Structure 1
């Protein structure tokens, strides 16, 4: 019998989930919220937008809807900046309501706490169907795998799969090539992972790869740009 997924608190006070079956967490022990902001926004979406300030809408593809943190922060980003975002996320194993209703992300920052109602709305959104959530945020969640999903042209990739040591099938060169092929010219791929083999494979797939400072508790991360 599989052990149940557990709610845990990370070092910045934000929650994450621990999966006993994989002996893995959904985020860094050093801070789930800080990790997401650092990897996917500071060095991801904010960086992309700085170089493409007039391109709208922004199309984001996320590997691993998971706790919904990246999707919710993207919604907040879209609303605050009044820039339309089309968000496509996949998750073959959605978490249960009893877990996502306990997650504390919307309560961590008073400046954006008024968006908290959208957090559970993102989780409750119908699978395999795209719809407008706010005036500036449209989301399509697919309950499927990276191997099976149909990808659309995209500007940003949030590659937030479990680590290569835990889910190696999601980090093969063929799978990475599928994702890179969906990136528009100038598109950006970001991940918390900093493995040398992943860097080499992304470069072989056609990205200009950078090794950047990682979030708290992690030395490095990867960003790739499609020229």
Structure 2
């Protein structure tokens, strides 16, 4: 049944206005309540400017922060290393190790002598050449002496190759120490010639070079008879090792 509302009569316009204002307030409250969401929270947060401080990140979403310009490179990122310092792995001989350079022996470092083997030999064919370091510093003897027997010799005496005691390395002479090379003057009466002098030249570190000036070796006898069979050994610090290579020849 439809209810009817009767308005009081006899009210002036002033009495109606307060009533109308109160009705407007009630209507506004009803409209506000209708606009609110349900109590289950499924629409919570809609219409706001962003997620609340307690809201969780949407599943699957990721956020990244731009890397700092001062950040260090991550593991596995190639980094440029400083180049090695020049000469850091070289010693004075260019072989590495950073040791002090040892000079090459020259005539200024050495005294030179020669003697017959055996000393009372009637046929002077075998000689022991001896050099002694008379300087105050050690020096290097490279390979073997370049020997010329006689002033008219046209070629160096051939070397016995298997007599190198430490192939590829020099003999290091400390001050006061000696080095040896054995010399076979004649090997079998082939193109024999008379010689009254022996000259040796010391080799430099590089093959084919010489160190210092030629050295005149004092003769153990006034005269030698040399031939094309002459031979010399490498430098060594063991005189017996050098002599064994020629005494059987």
Query: What TM-score, normalized by structure 1, do the two folds share?
Result: 0.27
**Greater gyration radius:** 2
Query: What TM-score, normalized by structure 2, do the two folds share?
Result: 0.25
